């Protein structure tokens, strides 16, 4: 509950807008689903998917074991739902914040990186879950195609694209590759931060350094004294 003061639980923030007019039952139902997702998030972040017992999630969520199966098909489905739910919310928030940025592509990429870091600081569990568990289960990396994550990457990718089209960024680099590399850089740094549970103070600085470095590697330069 208090955990998500800044980082509002997706369902209750996003879905509440839609289901505001729903009946009491619907609201209670949605709320319980969200409680389970939150319990799962905490548990997965703490012990990892495979080391988390369904009963642990249930007790974290304050529901009976069987209740989980009223909202999710099985443990795998819970994992995937959690991921999709959180990613949806992250993407929505990202989109909103990016739209609000005044300035060009460079400012928006910086904003992207800062938000990425800020989200991790706001909700450590979510950060840990996404950085660590995202790659984890075979479901995720093999069978499950992970469309939400692709959406996330697409945002980055189109920012690079835009910079290239505007002539700000060099065009000898593949924008998708750069997007991926940037994401990887962010993710790895956050993983380190998440696992070490280091002070959140210097995170802002790290975000600045990384975005600076990447952007400086991307921008077109005057041919360095050709003669």
Partner DNA sequence: CATGAATGAGCCTTCATTCAT
Partner DNA sequence: TATGAATGAAGGCTCATTCAT
State yes or no: residue 174 binds its own copies (CB under 8 A).
Answer: yes
Binding of its own copies at residue 147 (CB under 8 A)? Answer: no
Residue 168 found at the interface with its own copies (CB under 8 A): no
Give the one residue of 69, 161, 173, 200 binding its own copies; rule: CB under 8 A: 173
Instruction: Give whichever of 34 and 128 is closer to its own copies, judged by the CB atom.
Output: 128
Nearest distance, CB of residue 166 and its own copies, angstroms: 18
| Residue 50 lies near its own copies (rule: CB under 8 A) | yes
| Nearest distance from C-beta of residue 77 to DNA, angstroms | 8
Look at residue 197 and give the partner it binds from its own copies, DNA, none, a contact being a CB closer than 5 to 8 Å depending on partner kind: none
Is residue 65 a contact residue for its own copies (CB under 8 A)?
no
Residue nearer to DNA on the CB measure, 78 or 215? 78
Determine if 132 is a binding residue for its own copies (CB under 8 A): yes
Q: Is 218 in the site for its own copies (CB under 8 A)?
A: yes
146-169 in b/e form (b: 16+ CB < 10 A) is: bebbeebbeebbebbbbbbeeeeb
Cβ neighbours of residue 124 under 8 Å, at least 6 residues apart?
45, 194, 197
Residue with smaller CB distance to its own copies, 3 or 185: 185
Taken in order 53, 56, 58, 60, the sign of the CA dihedral is negative
Q: Which positions touch its own copies (CB under 8 A)?
A: 47-48, 50-51, 131-132, 135-138, 141-142, 172-174, 177-178, 180-189, 191-192, 195, 206, 209-210, 212-218, 221-222, 224-225
């Amino acid at each position: 509950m208090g955990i998500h003061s800044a980082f509002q639980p997706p369902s209750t923030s996003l879905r509440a807008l839609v289901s505001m007019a729903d009946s009491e039952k619907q609201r209670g139902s949605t709320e319980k689903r969200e409680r389970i997702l939150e319990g799962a998030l905490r548990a997965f972040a703490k012990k990892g998917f495979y080391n988390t017992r369904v009963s642990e999630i249930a007790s974290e969520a304050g529901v009976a074991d069987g209740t989980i199966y009223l909202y999710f098909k099985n443990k795998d489905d819970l994992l995937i739902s959690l991921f999709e739910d959180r990613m949806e919310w992250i993407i929505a928030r990202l989109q909103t914040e990016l739209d609000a940025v005044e300035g060009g592509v460079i400012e928006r990429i910086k904003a992207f990186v800062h938000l990425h870091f800020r989200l991790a600081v706001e909700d450590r569990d979510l950060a840990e879950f996404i950085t660590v568990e995202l790659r984890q289960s075979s479901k995720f990396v093999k069978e499950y195609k992970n469309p939400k994550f692709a959406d996330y990457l697409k945002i980055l990718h189109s920012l690079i694209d835009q910079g290239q089209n505007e002539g700000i960024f060099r065009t000898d680099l593949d924008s998708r590759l750069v997007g991926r590399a940037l994401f990887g850089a962010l993710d790895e740094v956050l993983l380190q931060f998440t696992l070490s549970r280091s002070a959140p103070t210097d995170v802002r600085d790290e975000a600045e350094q990384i975005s600076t470095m990447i952007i400086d590697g991307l921008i077109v330069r005057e041919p360095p004294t050709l003669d």
